[in-house]
Amino acid sequence: MPSVDTMISTRRVRGRFAPSPTGPLHFGSLIAALGSFLEARRQGGEWLVRIEDVDTPRTMPGAADAILRTLEHCGLLWDGPVLYQSQRAEHYQAALDQLQRARLAYPCSCTRRDLAGSPRGRDGASIYPGHCRNGPRQPGRSCAVRLRLPDILLTFQDAIQGEYRQLLASEVGDFVIRRADHLFAYQLAVVVDDADQGITEVIRGSDLLDSTPRQIYLQQVLELPTLRYGHLPVAVDERGNKLSKQTHAPPLNDRHPGPELWQALRFLGQQPPPALTHAPPAEMLAWALTHWQLAGIPATLTHPWRRSSAGESP
């Protein structure tokens, strides 16, 4: 199999930001949005926004519209229409059908309780031991669908973190691509969407680094282009917890986003002058596009951040 890096397309750069509408954007979200925006724009490329609402039970009413308003207030303006995963089930089903025809996917009746004693992967999820590879152990249950993984080492060069390796079978195990409730899983949906939108690069948080080999393998077996990936450090609080909606990260200030944009640039290893701390977003982004350096981003998986009203360095 050819190396991942030799398969990366030479098409015009197209990046994206793909938030889940489970609440308002916070500083951690801003880092991912800003990093992906600046890297795409620096190369003269396009930047798209996708609302990842495939997990409909977790979607918060009004959150998608609030996210888009916040991006606009921050000056992070996207190209083309916004894509909503909740409207794309037929595309995911077509990919699933292709995998099933190739005998790369199979039904699985295992529940989380069944897998409670299994070893855990780097992302904390159970490494699937293959109980249902030859047929569901509990045929009467509603079944998920898993992707059958080979025992191979998948390696790719991350634009920020450097070389990353993962033994798919032993470090992840066959993973779910459609859930038992018949909702399509993130891993399948994101691969199909990136291909359909013509995405060429993905700049996102390092909390998704462990998912990238799975997505690259899906791209390979679905005969889709392999993308360029770069994983930004994730902002954590003083206790080391990732800033997220679950940890009650404060929402961004829509009315005065300049100081948080300034802090996000500092977090990403750039050096915006203090005089820009309270500048309008358009002025701040103009400076950032002129001075943006991907090499300046710290090659760490996490980085502490504290909220500041004065705009000093986090």
> Which pLDDT band holds residue 4 (cuts at 50, 70, 90)?
very low
Q: Are residues 192 and 296 in the same domain?
A: yes
What's this model's pTM, rounded to 2 decimal places? 0.91
Q: Are residues 258 and 225 in the same domain?
A: yes
145 burial (CB, 10 Å; 0-12 / 13-18 / 19+) is: buried
Express each pLDDT in 52-90 by its tens digit.
999 999 999 999 999 999 999 999 999 999 999 999 999
Domain range for 69 is 5-89+188-304
> Which pLDDT band holds residue 140 (cuts at 50, 70, 90)?
confident
Q: Are residues 193 and 223 in the same domain?
A: yes
What local confidence, expressed as pLDDT, does residue 120 receive? Answer: 86
Look at residue 198 and tell me if it is in a domain. Answer: yes
Q: Are residues 198 and 277 in the same domain?
A: yes
Last residue of a domain, one of 165, 186, 207: 186
* pLDDT over 80 (residue 16): yes
What local confidence, expressed as pLDDT, does residue 118 receive? Answer: 84
Look at residue 96 and tell me if it is in a domain. Answer: no
What local confidence, expressed as pLDDT, does residue 93 receive? Answer: 98
* pLDDT over 70 (residue 297): yes
Q: How many folded domains does the chain comprise?
A: 2
Q: Are residues 25 and 139 in the same domain?
A: no
The pLDDT of 255-276, averaged and rounded, is: 95
Domain CATH for 81: 3.40.50.620
Look at residue 311 and tell me if it is in a domain. Answer: no
Look at residue 95 and tell me if it is in a domain. Answer: no
Greater pLDDT, 119 or 184: 184
Last residue of a domain, one of 186, 221, 236: 186
Q: Are residues 30 and 60 in the same domain?
A: yes
Q: Are residues 194 and 295 in the same domain?
A: yes
Last residue of a domain, one of 127, 153, 186: 186
Greater pLDDT, 108 or 241: 108
Q: Are residues 162 and 217 in the same domain?
A: no
Express each pLDDT in 151-175 by its tens digit.
999 999 999 999 999 999 999 999 9
Pairing of strands 228-232, 201-205: parallel
